[in-house]
Amino acid sequence: MYEEKTNEISNQLDCRDCGALLKYAPGTEHLKCEYCGAANEIKEAVEATVVEEIDFEKFLNENNTNVEKQEITTVKCGNCGASSTLKPNITSDSCPFCASPIVVTGGTTNSIIKPKYLLPFKVDQKNAFEEFKKWVKSLWFAPNDLKNYVDNADKLNGMYIPYWTYDSNTESDYTGQRGDNYVTTETYTTVVNGKSQTNTRTVTKIRWSYASGHVRNTFDDVLVLASKSLPEKYTNALEPWDMENITGYNDKFLSGFRSESYQVDVKTGFEKSKVIMEQGIRTTICRDIGGDHQRIGSVSTVYNDISFKHILLPIWLSAFRYNEKVFRFMINGRTGEVQGERPYSVIKIVLAVLAVIAIGIGIYFAVDYYNNEGY
């Protein structure tokens, strides 16, 4: 039974030596002062983490009243709708998800399901920025604005992004077809030197037969993005995450960083997880059908022992506007993997095409001159 309670989130921790704001130092188990260098150990970080899941059906039946919650103050972007925590002591900012300007006149306080676990940042801003620059410089036909943009490390925002994970045991009944290869001999006619010749050759064909069966699967930590602010194509490409190093949620890991509150609820998240599970189920079915080829006709799946948890994952995020379109760049805060949308410079592409044409014309005239001069 989860006791209902609400906690206030507080990411501002004062240095005992100089009173400045302590920030979590990525890749360590310490909070560090940027001014006097004092480091305070996060004691909870060195303790073993026992992962507990929340019963999905029980959660729905009890209308989520028996889960731990927290009060979190966020500011909502009027352009993309993302709700993220505020930077301390600021009155204006830019949205980390779409680069739109935000005038902060006050935040909205919401009661949300408290994250149970997180992966702390391991890659610091300096190293993330270096990976970001390498990625940008590797892009062909990138606009100059983009390369100028990467001269400022402050454009990278350390964000904790909300995710759900789901566990489930599944049982699936299926129908389909099994295809077995077999080799046969066939005759064919060809024309050789004006004469028809009949020859034989061996060909591989497929013999199809009806198949049906029942398969079981066990899924653990199926990861579902709980944000609508980032393109899943790129967040999926940031995987894998080292989930074995997950630690219990602690406000101290968020000090110096920002976080986004979830926009995808638990129930909707599970429907998304079923799409991911289906891929594994179909793989199991194909293996169960056997043969050389498989066709799946119908699948009926029952999901049992469903559980979930709310976690935060670390992403370095930057948004860039080019020709009124938003491009986002993401860096896995654990591995340094870089993914992102990229703009193209039309001018550079046109100049490259013209250069190729000019080279082609030059070669044509050089060859023509060579032939006319009788070389």
- Indicate whether 200 and 267 sit together in one domain: no
Closest-CA residue to 312 (of 169, 175, 176, 121): 121
Look at residue 361 and tell me if it is in a domain: no
Average per-residue pLDDT for the chain: 82
Place of tokens 């179909």: 282
DSSP annotation string for 265-306: -HHHHHHHHHHHHHHHHHHHHHHHH-SSEEEEEEEEEEEEEE
Q: Do 196 and 336 fall within a single domain? A: no
Q: For residues 235 and 31, which has the higher predicted lDDT (pLDDT)?
A: 235
pLDDT band at 123 (very low <50, low <70, confident <90, very high): very high
- Verdict on whether the full-model pTM lies above 0.75: yes
Tens of pLDDT, residue by residue over 177-215, are 999 999 999 888 888 888 888 888 899 999 999 999 999
Mean of pLDDT values over 66-85? 75
- The answer to whether position 255 is within a domain reads yes
Confidence bin at 48 (pLDDT 50/70/90): low
User: Per the domain annotation, does 350 fall within a domain?
Assistant: no
Looking at residue 301, what is its pLDDT? Answer: 98
What percentage of the chain has pLDDT greater than the value 90? 36
**Domain co-membership, 227 together with 134:** yes
pLDDT at 10: 44
Q: Does 223 lie in the same domain as 130?
A: yes
Check whether residue 226 and residue 277 sit in a common domain.
Answer: yes
253 vs 172, higher pLDDT: 172
Residue 369 lies in a domain: no
Q: Is 292 left (phi over 0), alpha (psi -120 to 50) or beta?
A: alpha
Position 91 pLDDT exceeds 70: no
- Per-residue pLDDT, averaged over 13-30, amounts to 76
Q: pLDDT-derived band of residue 329, with 50, 70 and 90 as boundaries?
A: confident
Instruction: Tell me whether the omega of the peptide bond preceding residue 240 falls within 30 degrees of 0, making it cis.
Output: yes
Q: Place 147 in a pLDDT band, splitting at 50, 70 and 90.
A: low
Instruction: Give the pLDDT mean for 144-168.
Output: 79
C-alpha 236/C-alpha 223 separation (Å) is: 9
- Least confidently predicted of 46-55, 290-299, 312-321, 351-360: 351-360
Q: Does residue 158 sit in the same domain as residue 122?
A: yes
One domain for residues 243 and 281: yes
| Residue 238: predicted pLDDT | 93
Domain count, the chain: 2
pLDDT computed for residue 188 by the predictor:
86
Residue in the block written with tokens 């899924």? 219
**Are residue 198 and residue 73 in the same domain, yes or no?**
no
Task: Report yes or no on 314 lying in a domain.
Answer: yes
Which range, 80-84, 98-102, 268-272, 319-323, has the best average confidence (pLDDT)? Answer: 268-272
Q: Which residue has the higher pLDDT, 367 or 55?
A: 55
Contacts (Cβ under 8 Å, ≥6 apart) of 58: 66
**Same domain for 196 and 310:** no
Q: Which of 272, 266, 285 shows the shortest CA–CA distance to 217? A: 285
Residue 314, amino acid = P
Higher pLDDT pick, 319 / 337 = 337
Residue 162 pLDDT exceeds 90: yes
Q: Same domain for 111 and 81?
A: yes
| pLDDT tier, 259 (very low <50, low <70, confident <90, very high otherwise) | confident
> Which of 22, 52, 50, 53 is closest to 35 using CA atoms?
22
Across 86-113, average pLDDT: 66
pLDDT reported for residue 325: 77
In-domain check, residue 349: no
- Assess whether 227 and 204 both reside in one domain: no
Question: Do residue 188 and residue 287 come from a single domain?
Answer: no
Q: Does 297 or 8 have the greater pLDDT score? A: 297
Q: Is residue 353 part of a domain?
A: no
Does some domain include residue 370?
Answer: no
Band the pLDDT of 2: cuts 50, 70, 90. Answer: very low
Residue 189 structural domain: 183-209
pLDDT for 330-355, tens place per residue? Answer: 999 999 998 877 666 556 666 667 77
